[in-house]
Amino acid sequence: MAVNINGRLVAKDTCQALRPRIAALPRPPGIAVVRVGEDPASKVYVGRKTQRAERLGFHHKEIHLDVETSQVELEAVIDAVNADDLIDGILVQLPLPDHLDSTAILDRIAPEKDVDGFHPVNAGLLSQGRPRFVPCTPCGVMKLLERSGVSIEGKHAVVIGRSNIVGRPMAMLLEKANATVTLAHSRTRNLPDLLAQADIVVAAVGRPHFVKGEWVRKGSVVIDVGINRLDDGSLVGDVDTDAASKNAGWITPVPGGVGPMTIAMLMENTVRAAEFRTA
Ligand code: GUN
């Protein structure tokens, strides 16, 4: 049976380690979290982010806008937080309602306040191997691997999913840590054959139980980024965890695996932004 990787524990340690850095700042780190509309999952995630910021003593602004908010109105909100000296980090919770142009909004966030790491300047720096702000979820996965004592160098890592939020930056971080990386996606053929050669698997496809237990190579490390709500209300990942645990050497649970790390890394990125901005 696989060793369970406890994301709650690592997230807690990560946040505790920030406390002396926060205390050393001339003022509390400031974060603005912007949410548009009534997506229920976004409401939960934003609530967790602001709660964690509050517990760490951050100055925080939660900006909740009506679902009918226009592109121009949202851009004006971004401009205001960009100009607010007490705000170090800005996060616009995705997905935005369909009538809004998310790319234009993310491009408008000041790169030095882009604690989500989605701005093309930060994505470009990562792609050149000189990361500044790295998207929180893949950054959290790297910390989980490190803390679990998993060595990455020379390993074959298969990342499933090529989003700008997880898959693509994940592949870059693993490659920077000297893994040989395969970036698989919805058009990939013979995924089971690829997984049969994988030492590390990161599943970020957003489909419940997409990765079958029998695809998982004996002793491999399985990181499940998926959070899917089933019709019965239960939360499951992208991996069939029970079946995969019989083959994997290490595995992350859902919930309690990658999810808490995303929030912890957002806090760390915000502290880094505050350190840069107050230096
Ligand atoms: N929606 C799902 N994951 C994320 C994330 O990491 N950041 C933001 N802003 N929105 C998300």
Q: Tell me: the pLDDT tens digits for 3-53? A: 999 999 999 999 999 999 999 999 999 999 999 999 999 999 999 999 999
Please give the pLDDT value at position 166: 98
The CB density around residue 191, as the number of other CB atoms within 10 Å, is: 20
State the distance from the centre of ligand 1 to the C-alpha of 161, rounded, in angstroms: 15
- Percent of residues, the chain, with pLDDT higher than 70: 100
* pLDDT of 240: 98
Measure 193 CA to ligand 1 centroid, in angstroms: 31
Ligand 1 pocket mutation, candidates 33, 48, 49, 94, criterion most atoms within 8 A of CB: 94
pLDDT recorded at residue 68: 98
Going from the Cα of 2 to the center of ligand 1, the distance in angstroms, rounded, reads 29
Question: Which atom of ligand 1 is closest in space to residue 262's alpha carbon?
Answer: 6
Contact status, residue 258 vs residue 203, Cβ threshold 8 Å: no
Reported pTM: 0.97
Instruction: For 244-270, write each residue's pLDDT tens digit.
Output: 999 999 999 999 999 999 999 999 999
Give, for ligand 1, the residue of 93, 166, 269 to mutate: max count of ligand atoms closer than 8 Å to Cβ. Answer: 93
Compute the average pLDDT of residues 176-199. 97
Q: What is the pLDDT of residue 49?
A: 98
Catalytic (active-site) positions: 49, 93, 116
| Non-local CB neighbours of 142 within 8 Å, separated by 6+ positions | 173, 174, 177
Query: Which amino acid is located at 176 in the chain?
Result: K
pLDDT in tens, 125-152: 999 999 999 999 999 999 999 999 999 9
**Of 72, 69, 59, 68, the residue nearest 30 (C-alpha):** 59
* C-alpha distances in Å from residue 172, one per residue of 36, 126, 168: 30, 7, 7
Mean pLDDT of 71-78: 98
Please count the residues of the chain.
279
Provide mean pLDDT across the span 203-227.
98
Q: Whose CA is closest to atom 8 on ligand 1? A: 93
Q: Residue 103: CB partners within 8 Å, gap ≥ 6?
A: none
Of the candidates 106, 102, 105, 96, the one whose C-alpha atom is nearest the C-alpha of residue 46 is 96
Whole-number Å distance, alpha carbon 163 to ligand 1 midpoint, is: 11
242/140 Cα distance (integer angstroms): 23
Residues with CB under 6 A from ligand 1: 91-94, 116, 136-137, 165, 262
